[in-house]
Amino acid sequence: MKITDVRCAIMGGSPIVRITTDAGIDGYGQAEFYKPYLKPHVLFYKDYLIGADPTDVERTMMRIRRMGAFKPWGAAVSAIEVALWDIAGKAAGLPVYKLLGGKVRDKVRTYITTNRYPMPTQSPEEYVENVLKIKEWPEQFSIFKQPISFHSPMAATIPDYFYGEIQPVGVHANRGLMTPAGFKHTLKCVEAMKLALGDDIGLALDCGPGFMATDALRFAKATEDYHLMWLEDMVTGDYTPYTLAHIYRDITSQTTTPIHTGEQMYLRQNFVELIKTQAVNVLGPDPLDVGGLAELKWIAEYADLHGIMMAPHGTGDGLIGLAALVHVSATLPGNFIAFEYAKANHEWWYDIIDGLPNPIVKNSYVDVWDAPGLGVTFNVPAAKKYLNDEDTGFFD
């Protein structure tokens, strides 16, 4: 079998990758819905892939893997890798999880990121109202992750939140030493959410990047009694092309609150120092940023040898990304906690993707399905109307 074409279309903001073969089998991958600018990056790899056997996933990935980078640029390579596994599974008549070593769980726990309702004043009361609304959702998620502090509008909304100038441009661009008032305000929001949620729902916090190391340790120690699931990306993280493992190590070694990072990172090599030095307690690589499904599994296995847990990222991965997360999460060792639920950014996605369970989430779990490949397909007639004019031949 040989690859005959690599295509990319933007649908609802998401770059969708389609790889075609001379055997009439095609595979799909997806990048996050806030990365429409990646289309030319996906197509850049086309000439490197034509003629390769897509079922030799590792050999094919060796052609392009070195030409990616930390978030967002590894997403193009990652989406291609997912599409290769989709083809390989379809060709073998097996679900992707079988090709990754087989499942160790029949259902996988998923968690929800809870910035789903407006919180214009960033007050403790708004944070409570937000999480209580989501607590009533039919999916009954058992873990909530709440963006807070520098990973939320808080730093720009609360007066004198930190000793620094507000950055009006950039993604999570604010960074600096927190004022006593800013620090106390953040703690009040955490206290209020924990009181409202009790012990029935685990609470994780997406915190940065932006914390100074001293504030990160002070905050981690101040929240120890709340039994938080983790504090995420406090020092480095989203769209940060480096890791600073030594700073994370110093924080992690002095607190019992679990420390988490990894969603922005690309390739296993960049996790080595974090894992070997036990710089964090939890890693959260995104399969659509880290280099794909096999890359994520390799990292999970190596992390497990060092006592580090896994909570894969995925909030913007869309429904093809959701399928990829289910398959890889089913194969991970016992250090797996839960993956971040990929909720579609437009309701019409649920009408054009076939093969997902209905309902998708039951009591915070997704049942692992057994259809070949990723097990999800496009309803092509329904999907075509969401293509841009320049992409009208994408499904042909």
* Encoded tokens for 93: 């008549």
The pairing of beta strand 177-178 with beta strand 107-113: unpaired
- Give pLDDT, residue 213: 98
C-alpha atoms less than 13 angstroms from C-alpha of 296 in its C-beta half-sphere: 38
Whether the upstream peptide bond of residue 40 has omega within 30° of 0, thus cis, is no
Residues in the chain: 396
- Amino acid, res. 362: K
Identify which of 263, 270, 311, 213 has the alpha carbon closest to the alpha carbon of residue 75: 263
* Encoded tokens for 32: 């996050």
At 121, is the secondary structure helix, strand, or coil?
coil
Query: Are 261 and 243 contacting, i.e. CB atoms less than 8 angstroms apart?
Result: yes
- Give pLDDT, residue 351: 97
Question: What is the value of pTM for the model shown?
Answer: 0.97
* Separation of alpha carbons 336 and 107, rounded Å: 12
Identify which of 67, 64, 86, 79 has the alpha carbon closest to the alpha carbon of residue 14: 79
Residue carrying the six token digits 């093809």: 320
- Give pLDDT, residue 392: 95
- Give pLDDT, residue 138: 98
Domains of the chain listed by start with CATH number: 3-94+378-391 (3.30.390.10), 98-372 (3.20.20.120)
Measured from the Cβ of residue 298, the count of other Cβ atoms closer than 10 Å reads: 15
At 108, is the secondary structure helix, strand, or coil?
strand
Measured from the Cβ of residue 345, the count of other Cβ atoms closer than 10 Å reads: 14
Measured from the Cβ of residue 160, the count of other Cβ atoms closer than 10 Å reads: 10
* Separation of alpha carbons 18 and 9, rounded Å: 8
Of all helices (H) and strands (E), which one includes residue 126? Answer: helix 124-135
C-alpha atoms less than 13 angstroms from C-alpha of 366 in its C-beta half-sphere: 27
Whether the upstream peptide bond of residue 258 has omega within 30° of 0, thus cis, is no
* Separation of alpha carbons 317 and 82, rounded Å: 12
**Residue 62 CA to its chain's centroid (Å):** 23
Identify which of 207, 201, 160 has the alpha carbon closest to the alpha carbon of residue 187: 207
Query: Going residue by residue through the chain (396 aa), what tens digit of pLDDT does each one get?
Result: 999 999 999 999 999 999 999 999 999 999 999 999 999 999 999 999 999 999 999 999 999 999 999 999 999 999 999 999 999 999 999 999 999 999 999 999 999 999 889 999 999 999 999 999 999 999 999 999 999 999 999 999 999 999 999 998 999 999 999 999 999 999 999 999 999 999 999 999 999 999 999 999 999 999 999 999 999 999 999 999 999 999 999 999 999 999 999 999 999 999 999 999 999 999 999 999 999 999 999 999 999 999 999 999 999 999 999 999 999 999 999 999 999 999 999 999 999 999 999 999 999 999 999 999 999 999 999 999 999 999 999 999
Identify which of 388, 382, 378, 379 has the alpha carbon closest to the alpha carbon of residue 28: 378
* Encoded tokens for 85: 């596994």
Measured from the Cβ of residue 127, the count of other Cβ atoms closer than 10 Å reads: 23
* Separation of alpha carbons 223 and 192, rounded Å: 12
Identify which of 82, 138, 98 has the alpha carbon closest to the alpha carbon of residue 292: 82
Q: Please compute Rg for the chain using Cα positions.
A: 21
The three-point CA angle 395-37-81 to 5° equals 60
Measured from the Cβ of residue 92, the count of other Cβ atoms closer than 10 Å reads: 14
